[in-house]
């Protein structure tokens, strides 16, 4: 069965445009409430967090109405990182957790992500069942059984203590000057507080959210502002989070950037050396660079690839018993510490390695030489299916033939935006550029 509303990471779209309307959010809350109250018992609860988008207020209220209408009690966390919702769903013994966020997308977008009672994101089967309830007649609670809602004022503090507990107890960050870019998002208070409490000299940027400036010229998808701050202040390192703080990019003292692949390479080698890397395996997606795969093989570490999306990384890790994975985009999943990608915890683990080795960030951010890679995004109109076009399919087949043995081509439809992503890797950069151009041109002709 094809999912109608749920994409790679929950339901997402432009606020006040289908499917991200308050009406749908209300019905989605009611459907999820009914799904998690199938046994009919009382005392069911949901925790709801959000990032700093203006539309978060609207969706928070709509979801609250939907959940309470089916008898669920709602605990409102306010602005907290996505991983905090996973943590608190489990620790507060909730039946379901909800994060209202469109992650790294601009302010006009928003999304709704669900977590199960174990703190992990819901799987495809659960989402399909919620969709089926949503499209039917949702059974509402009797008037005397309507749920209650209350604010939880210390959710951020609970999360901070968990984050700090992942840093070595015998280490401090004294003497380190750290730029932290919070993308004007969910971690705008949490991240600087953690770093300061661990002893760092903190230079915060992207910590003045106004409802509109989330991810705007800052954060993990735009590291230029953080790089400038690192150089201006003579900082030792920069940490760039995205709007909901489940992604991270690391900057060295010159402003050079390490993406998720380089961070995973560092952590996997360290964990393998310490005997902590379960199965001697790193789980990453098809987007991770070929250079990472070669580097891991040289260190007798297996790279297991999944479809794009941190939820698929986590599902594979849980099913196979692995404890380290992530994405090139900066999701770093360490199930010893968290149920989902956590940019702040990943940043602390990098800082711990700086403290342990007494090496500068520049000596740690480049673990391997990247295979040359080109990525182009082609936006398409709603209702179009460019990948079904004959000319597009021929262009893809031709590119694959030309790259045979000298690189790889990956074409995928985004699960969160109306985009086709075209990625090519090859040591032959001229061949790579031509392959990308041919496929993109074919897509643009039918978009």
Instruction: Show which residues are catalytic.
Output: 103
Alpha carbon distance 394, 386 (integer Å): 12
Under a CB-based contact definition with an 8 Å cutoff, are residues 400 and 422 in contact? no
Of 177, 14, 13, 185, residue with least CA distance to 83: 185
Token pair 């039946």 in the structure block, residue: 95
Nearest to 81 by CA among 193, 156, 180: 156
CB 86 within 8 A of CB 333: no
For the CA atoms of 145, 128, 65, 40, the dihedral, rounded to the nearest 10 degrees, stands at 10
For residue 358, give every residue at least 6 positions away whose Cβ sits within 8 Å of its Cβ, in sequence order, or none.
none
Euclidean distance between CA atoms 178 and 173, whole angstroms: 9
Taking alpha carbons only, the member of 63, 96, 111, 56 closest to residue 415 is 111
In this structure, are residues 110 and 101 in contact, taking their beta carbons and an 8 Å threshold? yes
> Is 32:62 a contact under the CB 8 Å cutoff?
no
Cβ contact 291:408 at 8 Å: no
Please say whether the beta carbons of 409 and 433 come within 8 A. Answer: no
């Amino acid at each position: 069965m094809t999912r109608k509303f749920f994409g790679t990471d929950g339901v997402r779209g432009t606020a006040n445009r289908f499917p991200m309307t308050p009406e749908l959010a209300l019905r989605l809350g009611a459907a999820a409430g009914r799904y998690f109250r199938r046994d009919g018992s009382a005392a069911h609860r949901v925790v709801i967090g959000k990032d700093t988008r203006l539309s978060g207020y609207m969706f928070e209220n709509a979801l609250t109405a939907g959940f309470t209408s089916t008898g669920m009690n709602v605990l409102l966390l306010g602005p907290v990182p996505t991983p905090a919702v996973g943590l608190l769903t489990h620790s507060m013994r909730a039946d379901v957790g909800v994060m209202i966020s469109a992650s790294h997308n601009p302010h006009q977008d928003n999304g709704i992500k669900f977590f199960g009672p174990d703190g992990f994101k819901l799987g495809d089967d659960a989402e399909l069942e919620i969709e089926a309830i949503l499209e039917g007649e949702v059974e509402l609670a009797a008037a005397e059984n309507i749920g209650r809602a209350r604010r939880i004022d210390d959710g951020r503090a609970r999360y901070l203590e968990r984050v700090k507990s992942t840093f070595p107890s015998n280490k401090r960050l004294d003497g380190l000057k750290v730029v932290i870019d919070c993308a004007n998002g969910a971690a705008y208070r949490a991240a600087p507080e953690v770093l300061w409490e661990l002893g760092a000299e903190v230079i915060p940027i992207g910590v003045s959210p106004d409802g509109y400036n989330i991810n705007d010229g800052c954060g993990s998808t735009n590291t230029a502002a953080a790089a400038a701050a690192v150089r201006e202040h003579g900082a030792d390192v920069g940490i760039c989070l995205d709007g909901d703080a489940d992604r991270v990019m690391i900057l060295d003292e010159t402003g050079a950037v390490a993406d998720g692949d380089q961070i995973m390479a560092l952590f996997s080698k360290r964990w393998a050396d310490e005997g902590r890397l379960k199965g001697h395996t790193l789980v990453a997606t098809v987007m991770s660079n070929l250079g990472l795969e070669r580097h891991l093989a040289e260190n007798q570490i297996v790279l297991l690839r999944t479809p794009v999306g941190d939820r698929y990384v986590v599902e594979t890790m849980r099913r196979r018993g692995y404890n380290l994975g992530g994405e090139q985009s900066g999701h770093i999943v360490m199930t010893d510490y968290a149920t989902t990608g956590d940019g702040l915890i990943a940043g602390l683990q990098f800082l711990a390695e700086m403290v342990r080795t007494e090496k500068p960030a520049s000596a740690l951010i480049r673990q391997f030489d990247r295979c040359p890679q080109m990525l182009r995004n082609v936006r398409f109109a709603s209702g179009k299916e460019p990948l079904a076009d004959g000319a597009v399919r021929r262009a893809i087949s031709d590119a694959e033939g030309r790259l045979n043995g000298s690189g790889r081509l990956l074409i995928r439809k985004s699960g969160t935006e109306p985009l086709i992503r075209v990625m090519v890797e090859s040591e032959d950069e001229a061949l790579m550029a031509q392959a990308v151009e041919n496929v993109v041109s074919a897509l643009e002709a039918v978009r």
